[in-house]
Structure 1
Amino acid sequence: MPVAHFPRGTAHPRRAVNRQLGALLTAEAISMLGSRITFVAVPWLVLTTQDSALLAGLAGLAEMLPYVLAGLIGGPIVDRVGPRPTAVAADTASVLAVAGIPLIAFYDGVSLVALLLLIALAGALRGFGDAAKRALLPRTIAAAGLSTERGTAMYDGICRASTLVGLPLAGVLIAASGPAMVLLFDALSFAVSALIIAVLVRVGYADAAALAESEQQGYAAALRDGFRYVRSDRLILGVMSMLFATNLFDQAFATVFVPVWVREGPHGPAALGVIGTAFGLGAVAGNILYTLLASRLPRRRTLGICFFLGGPAQLLALALAEQVWKVLVTAALAGALMSTVNPILMASVYLRIPTHLHGRVISVLIAVSWAGIPFGGVVGGWATDLLGLRTAALIAAIGYLAVTVSPFLFPAWRELDVRPRAEPATAVATA
């Protein structure tokens, strides 16, 4: 059998591609670590300075609404320019936007409006960057020769590990230096992420199909194509509808219910990340197990059971449990169950969408799915101020249970179990 030889000093092509996947996952881990810290710091900053759960929810709205809109309008741009250049540009600009928040906060008497405007700008830039990275991920996975399901499970593991480290680190840093200074860490994380992707990732330029199509149609037509494709796929419509509701409940839990729970307890701000730590430990363990067993498990049944049991569990714990240890144990079990959800949904969606349409279609999918997030904090804050923490959390849990039963009821979800005979490992344009 002939043996391939490579010049001395030249890396094997497969190893080089695998290093690119490792570089992308490393950049995402660093960026997500900073974002997780900011996710805790911003609502706590507003809650402690304004003494209002509703205003804390508005801070989440100020970040997430521009995030969702930017991700939506950025899809055609990602397809035309390429996900890699777009990701580098967005992360570089995010450094300045996020660093501006603590710089303004240093001045006494800074208005809440000015702070919210900077938060909105940072959210918009992060939306562009995340839309690009989501389109870059399947190309890098395919170039590395991995199955889409295993690649997305690895990506989700990075997300879970960042949550595990970022949330408790946020609590410690906030207690030590205050929430404003903590945002500088997030700015630094964007700088490192941009540098890694710019230097080490070479997959993800605009491909020939996207360029040829963009030359024949304008921006608005490309955006309409994304909506048209989503509207024609019943499974994607079902995914979007369910995630819209669950993301709303999750945002209320994270940005309002948990800070209020901490403020009403004896633990202080260092405990802000304690629930996230428990959830992250369970999620990392569950992700490792699922990565090993993914190919043997039925997608629809696994998704349905884990989402139905794991999604509302933390809400029910806050509403019904008196002891802190019960809340933490529930969070860990919920994390283990929920670790299966993202890999299943991401793998199924990536395999259904043509590569050159990833940017515009995934941006529509994410924008609609995440549209509930900007309003989750506001609704959660309003319900908490009006009804109290326990009642608001219980209502959210009941709503979560109602929407996560859909994979068992609607036939379109059966398509989750349809696996392609061979995944396209070369449908990627490289430099």
Structure 2
Amino acid sequence: MLGSRITFVAVPWLVLTTQDSALLAGLAGLAEMLPYVLAGLIGGPIVDRVGPRPTAVAADTASVLAVAGIPLLAYCDSVSLGVLLALIALAGALRGFGDAAKRALLPRTLAAAGVSTERGTALYDGICRASTLVGLPLAGVLIAAFGPAPVLLFDALSFAASALIIGILVRVGHADAAALAESEHQGYTAALRDGFRYVRSDRLILGVMSMLFATNMFDQAFATVFVPVWVRESPHGPAALGVIGTAFGLGAVAGNILYTVMAPRLSRRLTVGVCFFLGGPAQLLALALTDRMWTVLVTAALAGALMSTVNPILMASVYRRIPTHLHGRVISVLIAVSWAGIPFGGVIGGWATDRLGLQNAALVAALGYLAVTMAPFLFPAWRELDARTRSESTRAVVAA
């Protein structure tokens, strides 16, 4: 994760410095993320059939070559930009396959380690947020010191380390043998269709997916449009771009640690509902209502602490509801549709800012965020977040 966060900064910078075009730098980001989302979607049935551990090892091993080839091609004068973008797209697709496999591997790893689902997913989310908190500023330092090519080679080494760690150290159980045998005789298209059918039939998963589609769209508008415009129009300077993200990250890591300790005592539905409702639109309202940096930073830190509870609860609840042998295809559909709002967020946010101005656009987005995050309080399906599994009920009886 740390290597991928660094590449998130390094790839657009590499294209910008070698091609001298901001548009092409943005296209490089699209070339990586679109295959990433699509590969995660179409890779679900493959993960279920081959197994998440071998799929993750194979994808990470191939990523070593793909990522290492990007800086080598970038500095070859005879190589066209199209070939470079194709290799970036290949690297994004391989990472999508690998991440889909690791998401399916996570619940089996937690079960083998004897870790509760809430604490395991909270730890996973905390590592994601910590890697972002460390990786983004570290990328800037490394690029300034060594240039983008060595930074990408660091990412290639991180994929090699990941393949070795998973291949050597991770030993987990397998899905139910009968269910696994049934899926092996099923065609690829039928397996992918099963993923969509399962998501459509489960009202809670459908609700989670729909809400995340909308909130990801608002979050992307905030990060890629509203914050840069606010910084440009304020007297704080470009350094504020990184400071706001750092404040959110620090709050998220602190909140994640606190939630890991308190998770067993909290209502999942109320925690998600309250934290999403308050933390999601808070930063949008801060940009719309003030130009004071300290207010925005304090709001970002508090929002990060509140939002740090959301992903662990939703991940744990989704994992509980999906049979083990269907994890790959169902979770891939869930992630792909949830993230589909991201490409639209920047476009809609930019259009709204041009038409309405920053303050009005941020207010509209905040109101939209508030409306969407009312779902856990309004729809009965969300009460199933608090439903206990059989193993949880057994533990509660034994404790009593």
| TM-score w.r.t. length of structure 1 | 0.81
* Partner secondary structure for residue 391 of structure 2: coil
Q: After TM superposition, give the deviation of residue 351 of structure 1 in Å.
A: 0.7
Give the match for residue 89 of structure 1: 58
Give the match for residue 429 of structure 1: none
2:67 and 2:91 in contact (8 A); partners too: yes
1:335 aligns to 2:304 (yes or no): yes
Give the match for residue 195 of structure 1: 164
In structure 2, C-alpha distance between the alignment counterparts of 1:223 and 1:289, rounded to whole Å: 38
1:48-87 equivalences in 2 (<5 Å): 49-51=20-22, 58-87=27-56
2:59 and 2:94 in contact (8 A); partners too: yes
1:96-245 equivalences in 2 (<5 Å): 96-107=65-76, 113-179=82-148, 181-203=150-172, 208-245=177-214
* Cα pair distance change 1:123/1:210, threshold 3 Å: farther
Give the match for residue 397 of structure 2: none
* Partner secondary structure for residue 291 of structure 2: coil
Q: Which moved more, 1:66-75 or 1:255-264?
A: 255-264
Equivalent residue pairs, number: 392
Structure 1 alignment gaps of length 5 or more = 1-31, 426-431
Structure 2 alignment gaps of length 5 or more = 395-400
* Cα pair distance change 1:110/1:259, threshold 3 Å: farther
Give the match for residue 287 of structure 2: 318
1:274 aligns to 2:267 (yes or no): no
Out of 225, 241, 255, the residue aligned to residue 286 of structure 1 is 255
Give the match for residue 361 of structure 1: 330
* Cα pair distance change 1:154/1:391, threshold 3 Å: same
Q: Identity percentage over the alignment?
A: 87
* Partner secondary structure for residue 163 of structure 1: helix
* Cα pair distance change 1:179/1:414, threshold 3 Å: same
1:254 aligns to 2:223 (yes or no): yes
* Cα pair distance change 1:404/1:111, threshold 3 Å: farther
- CA displacement 1:403-431 (0-9 Å, x = unmatched): 11211111111111111131599xxxxxx
* Partner secondary structure for residue 146 of structure 1: coil
* Partner secondary structure for residue 422 of structure 1: helix
In structure 2, C-alpha distance between the alignment counterparts of 1:219 and 1:61, rounded to whole Å: 27
Amino acid of the structure 2 residue aligned with 1:302 = T
Q: Which moved more, 1:170-179 or 1:40-49?
A: 40-49
1:388-403 equivalences in 2 (<5 Å): 392-403=361-372
Give the match for residue 389 of structure 2: 420
Q: Which moved more, 1:158-167 or 1:74-83?
A: 158-167
Amino acid of the structure 2 residue aligned with 1:81 = V
C-alpha RMSD of the superposition: 3.0
Give the match for residue 298 of structure 1: 267
Give the match for residue 10 of structure 1: none
| TM-score w.r.t. length of structure 2 | 0.87
Q: After TM superposition, give the deviation of residue 279 of structure 1 in Å.
A: 1.3
In structure 1, C-alpha distance between the alignment counterparts of 2:221 and 2:150, rounded to whole Å: 25
1:58 and 1:377 in contact (8 A); partners too: no
Q: After TM superposition, give the deviation of residue 288 of structure 1 in Å.
A: 1.1
Q: After TM superposition, give the deviation of residue 67 of structure 1 in Å.
A: 1.4
In structure 2, C-alpha distance between the alignment counterparts of 1:115 and 1:317, rounded to whole Å: 40
* Partner secondary structure for residue 312 of structure 1: helix
In structure 1, C-alpha distance between the alignment counterparts of 2:79 and 2:355, rounded to whole Å: 29
Amino acid of the structure 1 residue aligned with 2:365 = A
